[in-house]
Amino acid sequence: MSTFVDAAIHQGQRKQLVAFLEEKGICDPLVLKALLAVPRHWFMDPGLVSHAYKNKAYPIAAEQTISHPYTVAFQSELIGCQKGDKVLEIGTGSGYQTAVLQALGVQIYTIERQRELFKKTKRLFDQLRLRPKTFLLGDGYLGLPEEAPFDAILVTAGAATLPKALLSQLKIGGRLVIPIGNDPQVMHRFTRTGEKTFDKETFGEFRFVPLLKDKT
Ligand code: SAH
């Protein structure tokens, strides 16, 4: 299908984008390789394809956005995963971050709360033969207790407050990467150091659409 062509021009633009991300401080070679491998334009509306390799967020369905490539790279680096790790993603959106995580070789469980977006992205995953372990329509605020514990949890929407349920679904040593606050959000990483203990780090300001409760 022509929509899924990865033309030389796109590959070239992607190389430039990855060079830019490296200049901006992304240094994990596996993350850079994953961003180089995944055609972002496949996850965007056809009318926006020519913008796919700019470091910008763009509208997708249901008034949501595909994250900036820098944000995707930054969060992918922060979760610090190894091949085979079990990762929960909250806020599938366009599926671009999911595809980057798959390219990193992790086992991905992903949740989206907007039905329209869920259906659209599910169809896209089928067309691309991209197979997350689980892709659910639901409220990621609650995490996915039946599949816990996870090596990492990545939240791709801005949470007003920290959803406590997510902390309890981390393995010891597991990481929760989540933007917290009201426009802008501060990127946080919580590392579970024991049954009831967590380390907290912060990594500057980002802008995300809100993480919302109880709606599908
Ligand atoms: N990584 C995605 C980001 C999409 S924006 C991408 O690059 O395309 C964030 C997504 O989080 C939106 O699709 C929004 O619908 C979803 N979201 C918001 N609150 C949620 C919740 N409680 N549970 C699951 N998904 C949620």
Per-residue pLDDT of the chain (216 residues; tens, 9 = 90+): 456 999 999 999 999 999 999 999 999 999 999 999 999 999 999 899 999 999 999 999 888 999 999 999 999 999 999 999 999 999 999 999 999 999 999 999 999 999 999 999 999 999 999 999 999 999 999 999 999 999 999 999 999 999 999 999 999 999 999 999 988 999 999 999 999 999 999 999 999 999 988 654
Domains of the chain plus CATH, in order, are 8-206 (3.40.50.150)
Query: How many alpha carbons fall within 13 Å on the CB side of residue 3?
Result: 10
What sign does the CA torsion over 78, 80, 81, 87 have?
negative
| Closest C-alpha to 212, from 141, 107, 150 | 141
What confidence score (pLDDT) does residue 143 get? 96
Give residue 62's pLDDT: 87
Return the closest-CA partner of residue 103 out of 40, 152, 179: 40
Residues 6 or more apart whose Cβ sits within 8 Å of residue 42: 3, 4, 6, 124, 128
Q: Is 50 a catalytic residue?
A: no
Lining ligand 1 with CB less than 6 A are 60, 64-67, 90-91, 93-94, 96-97, 111-114, 117, 139-141, 156-157, 209, 211-213
3-state secondary structure (DSSP) of residue 123: helix
Do 192 and 167 contact (CB within 8 A), yes or no?
yes
Query: By alpha-carbon position, which residue is closest to atom 16 of ligand 1?
Result: 91
Instruction: Enter the tokens of residue 181.
Output: 């606050």
The per-residue pLDDT for 213 is 80
8 CA to centre of ligand 1 in angstroms: 31
Global confidence as pTM: 0.96
Check if the beta carbon of residue 81 is closer than 8 Å to that of residue 106. Answer: yes
